[in-house]
Every structure is written in structure tokens, then in C-alpha cells.
Amino acid sequence: MIFSRKRAGSGRHARDEQAAERRVGQDTDETAGTPARGPYDISEAPDDVQRLDLGSLHIPAVPGVEVRVQADPQGVVQQVVLVHGENALQLGVFAAPRSDGIWDEVREEIRQSLFNDGAAAQELSGEYGTELRARLRTPEGITDLRFIGVDGPRWMVRGVYQGLAAVDPAAAGPLAECLDGLVVDRGQEAKPVREPLPLRLPREVADQHQAQAEAQGAGTTPDASGAA
């Protein structure tokens, strides 16, 4: 099922380099030491922003951006895609070690996988460090993809742009704003490196989602309140 909501309103050399690159020339909160933009760890995120709480990811409300969430009947989120016009940004968040970032390794694995599928990928310098851009031939035609990665404290966010934003970062617009305001809630539980961090629907949406699944299984259709 797809849930869509339109919003209104160290030793960590790789991570430190990326943070320096994406924050250079930008202001920070001198009092709190808050970075000017994210993705933020929940410990450093500004609290004056409305966000959709999906568990490990908190997505800021940006006008015109639609949040599409694919979840199983239990409300466990399998995929998160942000859509604005013809552009899309798929998001994933993964556990990382305390001492090192993992985007460099993950990026090379993505590049090799694309190569094995017959698609060439090119590394370019982007706003968050090194990006990977590729062009794929699909049954629907040619698809451009732009992979970005951001290493944080014990987590890594991976984003995949599609549409014009995949070839022209300036076209990302509100999607880039969502990425800049993204918050990661890693939690304290130990997790294997690269394991996806848990994502879930907000409780009120999960309850409605479960009611719809149960109604469909019973061959009935729930009313607007979610009751069959």
C-alpha cells in the first residue's frame, strides 16, 4: 500500500570532510552549535520545524512535496519517496560504525552493481561530497539517477534523485530543502553496520492502514474513519 501525504507548511575522516564541504560558508547557531543545515542527528536538530515522524527519519514539511510511503500490513515502512512535480528523491538510512563513515564503500558497491547491469556510473563532486550519477535503460525508457550519501554519527543517509534533479542539482528545489532539513533518530541500540534503520508509519496512519488491510482481507471496505 502507498501512503501519500502532502505537507503544507574524529576518526570519522570521510564524515568530517563531507560536513566541512556542505557547511563551508554557511552560518551556524553560535550558542547551540547547531549546524546550519542537515541531514541532522536528532541530538543537534532545530526543534522549530514541523516534521513527519517515520521513526528513524523525520521529514520536514515542505510545501508542494508529497511523501509517499510503502508499508507492510503491520505499518513497517519499506520505502520512502519524496515527490515534487516530475522529480523524486528516494531516501534510506542505515547503521554505521562509530569510528568511520561508510558512504565511500557503499558508493563503490553501487557503482560496481550498475556496471554489472551494463550501466556506466560517473563520480562527481556535489553539495554533500562525492556523488554518483548513472543513466539506465529501462522498459519505460532512459532513466537518470543521482546517488548522494551523507555520513552522520553512527548512521548514513542515502538519497537517490530521479527526474531533472538527477542531472541538474539546481532543479531539486523543495526536495533538496527536505534533505537539508532531514533528521535521523539513530537510537542507542547496537545494530550491524549497513542494516537499514527501522522506519514506521505514524501511529494514527498505521492504525488506519491496519484497518484497511483487515477490511480488504474480510472483503469489506472501511469508511472514512477506518472502521469497516
Residue 14 lies in a domain: no
CATH, residue 85: 3.40.1000
Residue 210 lies in a domain: no
Set of cell numbers at residue 36: 546550519
145 neighbors 160 (Cβ within 8 angstroms): yes
Q: Rounded to whole angstroms, how far apart are CA atoms 149 and 128? A: 7
Q: What is the 3-state secondary structure (H, E, C) of the chain?
A: CEEEEECCCCCCHHHHHHHHHHHCCCCCCCCCCCCCCCCEECCCCCCCCCEEECECEEEECCCCCEEEEEECCCCEEEEEEEEECCEEEEEEEEECCCCCCCHHHHHHHHHHHHHHCCCCEEEEEECCEEEEEEEEEECCEEEEEEEEEEEECCEEEEEEEECHHHCCHHHHCHHHHHHHHCEECCCCCCCCCCCECCEECCHHHHHHHHHHHHHHHHCCCCCCCCCC
- Average pLDDT for residues 125-138, to the nearest whole number? 94
pLDDT tens digits, residue range 70-111? 988 888 899 999 999 999 999 999 999 988 899 999 999 999
77-84 and 57-60 strand pairing: unpaired
Residue 196 lies in a domain: yes
Residue 211's pLDDT band (cuts 50, 70, 90)? low
Residue with cell 535503460: 137
Specify the pLDDT at position 205. 66
Residue 39, preceding peptide bond in cis (omega within 30° of 0): yes
Residue 99 lies in a domain: yes
Residue 227 lies in a domain: no
Q: How many domains does the chain have?
A: 1
Residue 134 lies in a domain: yes
Residue 9 lies in a domain: no
- The pTM (predicted TM-score) of the whole model is 0.78
Q: Which domain holds residue 143?
A: 50-202
Residue 53 has pLDDT above 80, yes or no: yes
Residue 91 lies in a domain: yes
